[in-house]
Structures are given as structure tokens and as C-alpha cells.
Structure 1
Amino acid sequence: MPSFSPIESGPDGYVRTHLSAGVGRVEFYHPKSNSLPGAVLRELASTVTAISQDPACRVIVLQSGGTGPFCAGASFDELSTIADREQGQQFFSGFAGVILAMIRAPQFVISRVHGKAAGGAVGLIAASDFSFAVEKASAKLSELAVGIGPFVVGPVIEKKIGLASFSQMAVDADWRDAAWCERRGLYAKVVPDVTALDAAVDAQAATLAACNPQAMAMLKQVFWAGTEQWETLLAERAAMSGMLVLSDFTRQAIGAFKAK
């Protein structure tokens, strides 16, 4: 694993980058199961955008730190402090910013999924162009269980795995194993463990770094055709989540979850 140059997002999380041999790695981390507070989301979006504009970068790898979950989704600590609709929309727009940065990047984005992925994390994986995951990397959309819904991440998940599979995940907020995710196309390839994961990611990234960047950029446009209005769509979806997070039902559900 390369050593990363830090771009800090505050004392409780970070976003770091490393660029070598055409491969730009972006790593995020939070001590609470790699959950994503607003500061980390904003830094992650700006970092992906910045590295995608570096002519030395031929492919981007998105990964998270630690050995636990890949990402637990939205920070429940921050969700519980949202006081009004504007603040709620701003928070959920953080996920929109990362998704848009990933799909607008001219480079292919590879996701390295070393553990479980919940809620918004599924949207980040879906926004990648290719993803590798370990066998223990189950995934779920947990939003409905806490009184909201996967509104912001919904469009990118639906585009990646189809409406039927997206609706199954949204309605039945339980874990899907990595094999299910691979069959639906959320994961491109599942490998046994982290050692195999790093080998697969490194090999694919090196191969892509040697490919024609113009061809890859044109393929990205093909992959994400139909998303031209997503800046507006995802802003509208963020407003929906921002409204729901203020409801008594959601506040009680989040409180119960945090108390576990």
C-alpha cells in the first residue's frame, strides 16, 4: 500500500491522495466505521475533482482506511444535529458532490471495497466504473430503517444495477452478500481477501494507466450518458432527505440506532 500525502478534513476524519505511475489513489477515513460527515464528503468531492484534473493521473482508485467496514454511510452523529431543511439539504448534497465528481472525472474510477458498505457507501461504489470487493463485503441500503430513503444515491445505484435490484435493496433494508452484489453488477469482481483485493486493484489500475486516456474519457461519456441533468436531480433528492431527517420518526429512529 502506498504512503499517502494527507489532506486533512478535521480531527475526526481525513481524505488523502497518492499519485504514482499514472494511478491516483484517494483514501477517506473516519474512526466511526468510515462514516461520512459533511466535512469529509466535501473534501472527498473536491479531492476527486482535483486529481481528475491532473494530466499525470490516468486512473483513479477510491478506497477507505482501516480494516473494518469500507464505509458506514452518513454520519449519524451529524444527522442528529441537523436543525432545518437548508442544513439537511446541504448535508445530503455532500453525497451528490462525490457522486458527480466521480462520474464527471475523465478517468475510470476503481473502487476498492475491503469491507461492508451501508447506505451512501453503496452510491459511491455504484458511481465507480469498476469495483473490486472481498467476499465479506456485504452491502445494504439502510435509509428506510431510519425514516429516510436512498434518494440522493438512488439514481446512480439504479443506473448501475437496474430498477428491480435497487428497489429490492431500498425496500428490504437488510444485508446483501458480495455474491449478490456481483451478480447484480454493483461489484465487478469479488476476491477472497484483502491480499487478493490489493493484487487485483493494482493490476487493473496499472493496465488502465497504460491505456489511451482519450479512449477512456470517451467511454466514460458513454457509461454516464443520461446523467446530464443530475446536478438538478440530486439537489432535489437532497432536499427530500433534508426534509425527512427533521421528522419525529427519523429523529427517534436515529436516536435508537445510536443507543445500540
Structure 2
Amino acid sequence: MTNENEPLVLRADRADGLTTLTLNRPGQFNSLSKAMLTALQAELDRIAADESRRVVVIAGAGKAFCAGHDLKEMRGNHEKAFMQALFRQCGELMLTIQRMPQPVIARVQGIATAAGCQLVSMCDLAVAADVAKFAVSGINVGLFCSTPAVGLARNLGRKAALEMLLTGEFIDALEAQRRGLVNRVVPADALEAEVDRLAATILAKSAVAIRAGKGMFYKQLEMDIGQAYDYAAEVMACNMMSEDAAEGIDAFMQKRAPAYVGR
């Protein structure tokens, strides 16, 4: 169980630009209390403003990745205003993950339920241990997982998302991969190494292209196809004017590794 003096979110920065944020309430299965949401939001805001941070990993301490909202806290504050503020705060956190320039990878070692499953769905990429399980289980206690449904519906097909939401049943990691919730599934003892490999592949690319590309990807999803092509063409033209694009193309033609400058 976490010592009360320990931070709710552990941060580890590496020299290569990778930052790992670990949810640190293992005794409560890393549930998203208001304090946990506040701590995670603060770290993500700091990272988003720091160009030296290139990739973010969100992990969980202990057996669970994240069991969703803190039900004990919710029952102890049974007022509509509290619930509205809590779900708005959680929604803002999820949008921060999508809007920040760095790719965010979920490293899922255990169960991810309700808002924990939502957290996985809102990360840009996700790697899961083969023992991990996923559910949006609010329906089992009389609560439809409406806010988790937003991220889930944008990862899975409608029928697959609704099956999870209406039944509350768990799916295993391989099924989550088949449905599009996670990218890769590996044995538990290979999880950290697989996340490192994925992060290293991204870290080797142009920071300029990654920042522009992530923002473009999500923005164009909300447009009709004509607007999306117009917007994507403008982003790509601007990207082509960067020093990194010039260096990358020259390196390709000269058959050498690029030396990106990050501008």
C-alpha cells in the first residue's frame, strides 16, 4: 500500500526524452480520485510545455493499471455538483493527453476498468501484458460508463464498444488488441522492454514531424473529408519547410542516417 507521504504520480525522466508517469495508489488499484486527477494533470501540463520531453509513458504501480474512479470518494460526496466537477476534471485530463504534442503510450500491466479503460483509450498508443484485462464495468453497479464511452467509441467499432458498455464484461489483452484498444500484447515480463522499443522508434524520428503529425491526426478526424485533405495539405506543406524535413530527405537520398535538429 502506498505511503501517505509518497506522491500520487511518480515521474521518471530519461536523457533521451522519455518520461514515465506512474499512477501510485496500488492499494486502491490506482483509482482516479480528484487528488490523483489533479496530480496527473499537473505533470502532463508541465510535460506538454517542455520540448525536451519527446514521449510519455503512463503506467500503474502494483497489480492494476487503473480501476477507474474512486467509488468510495464518490459515495462520500453524493452531490450532483461534485459529480459534475469530477467528470469535467477527468474529461479535461483525457483531452490533455490527446492535445499535448508528445505521443503518450499506456503501459498496461493489469486490469484497466471504467475510467481506467477510458485512460487507455485516450492514450495515443497502448502496449499490454498478456495478463491484462479491460472492462467498462459501471453498468454492473447501475451506472452506464458515459464518459469512458467517448474514448471507447473512438477506438472500437460501435457494436464492440456497446457490447462492453452494456454488459460490463471483461475482455482479455488479445481481444482488446483485436478490437483496436491496444496496439501490442506481450508476456508480462517483456512489457517494459516492448514499451521501450516502441518509444525508441518514435524518439528516433523528427520531433517537428511528430508534433505536427499528432495534432493533425486528431484535428482532421473531426472534419469532413474535403476539409481534412485541405488541412492535411497545409500541415504537410509547412512540415516540408522545416529543417528536419530537408535533412531527412537529404539523408535518404545520400543513404545515411538523418541528424535531426528539431526545428
What runs of 5+ residues in structure 2 fail to find an aligned partner? Answer: 223-263
Aligned residue type for 1:180: E
SS in 2 for 1:36: coil
Show CA shifts across 1:80-123 (max 9, x none): 11232111111222321221110011111111000111100111
TM-score w.r.t. structure 2 length?
0.78
**Identity across the alignment (%):** 28
Aligned residue type for 1:18: A
| Greater gyration radius | 2
Show CA shifts across 1:125-167 (max 9, x none): 0111111001111100111111222212221211111322211
Asked whether the equivalents of residues 132 and 190 of structure 1 are also in contact (C-alpha less than 8 Å), the reply is yes
Q: Which residue of 2 aligns with 1:34?
A: 30
Asked whether the equivalents of residues 26 and 61 of structure 1 are also in contact (C-alpha less than 8 Å), the reply is yes
Cα offset, 1:211, TM superposition: 1.2
Aligned residue type for 1:224: Y
Which residue among 168, 173, 176 is the counterpart of 1:178?
173
Pair 1:203-2:191 in alignment: no
Which residue among 132, 139, 142 is the counterpart of 1:137?
132
Task: Measure the CA separation in 2 of the matches of 1:9 and 1:109.
Answer: 27
Q: Which residue of 2 aligns with 1:45?
A: 41
Task: Measure the CA separation in 2 of the matches of 1:12 and 1:170.
Answer: 34
Pair 1:92-2:80 in alignment: no
What runs of 5+ residues in structure 1 fail to find an aligned partner? Answer: 1-7, 229-260
Q: Which residue of 2 aligns with 1:111?
A: 106
Asked whether the equivalents of residues 17 and 54 of structure 2 are also in contact (C-alpha less than 8 Å), the reply is yes
Cα offset, 1:28, TM superposition: 1.1
Aligned residue type for 1:101: T
Task: Measure the CA separation in 2 of the matches of 1:105 and 1:9.
Answer: 31
Pair 1:150-2:149 in alignment: no
Higher relative contact order by CA 8 Å / sep ≥ 6: 1 or 2?
1
Task: Measure the CA separation in 2 of the matches of 1:148 and 1:12.
Answer: 32
Distance 1:164-1:117 versus aligned 2 partners, 3 A rule: same
Structure with the higher fraction of residues in helix conformation: 2
TM-score w.r.t. structure 1 length?
0.79
Cα offset, 1:223, TM superposition: 3.1
Q: Which residue of 2 aligns with 1:63?
A: 59
What RMSD, in angstroms, separates the aligned Cα atoms of the two structures? 2.0
SS in 2 for 1:61: strand
Distance 1:11-1:151 versus aligned 2 partners, 3 A rule: farther
Asked whether the equivalents of residues 127 and 182 of structure 2 are also in contact (C-alpha less than 8 Å), the reply is yes
Point out the more displaced range, 150-159 or 174-183: 150-159
Show CA shifts across 1:158-194 (max 9, x none): 111132221111001111111110001101000011x
Show CA shifts across 1:193-238 (max 9, x none): 1x2101101111122122111211222123322677xxxxxxxxxx
Aligned residue type for 1:83: H
Asked whether the equivalents of residues 136 and 148 of structure 2 are also in contact (C-alpha less than 8 Å), the reply is no
Alignment length (residue pairs) = 219
Q: Which residue of 1 aligns with 2:20?
A: 25
Q: Which residue of 2 aligns with 1:255?
A: none
